[in-house]
Amino acid sequence: MNKFGADIISFFRKNNKILLNFNNLSVEEEEFFLLDGVFEDVLKNTEVIAIDKHTHDLKLEVLDKWKGNVIIADNGI
C-alpha cells in the first residue's frame, strides 16, 4: 500500500498490482488519478483500491466493470 506523502511514480514502478489507497494521496495526485481515462489506467495496474464513499459513487460505472476489489474507507486504512 502507498504511504501518505509517498512518491507515487516510484510506487508504481517498484510494485505491480497492489493496493492503492486514494486517501493517502495528495489533493493534486487524487484529482489527477480521478480524471477520465487516467482512473481506468490506474485500475489496470492495481488489484485493490481504497476510496471514500463519495469517490466510489462518482466512479461507480467504471468500478462496476472492474474485476478488482474496492475498500470504502473514510480516512485511510
Q: What pLDDT sits at residue 73?
A: 83
d(CA 58, CA 77) in angstroms, rounded, equals 20
Closest CA to 39 of 14, 70, 10: 70
Q: Which residues pair with 69 in a beta bridge?
A: 48
Question: Between residues 10 and 27, which one has the greater pLDDT?
Answer: 27
Confidence of residue 14 (pLDDT cuts 50, 70, 90): low
Closest CA to 68 of 31, 42, 29, 34: 42
**Does residue 33 surpass a pLDDT of 80?**
yes
Q: Which residues pair with 3 in a beta bridge?
A: none
Q: pTM, whole model, 2 decimals?
A: 0.75
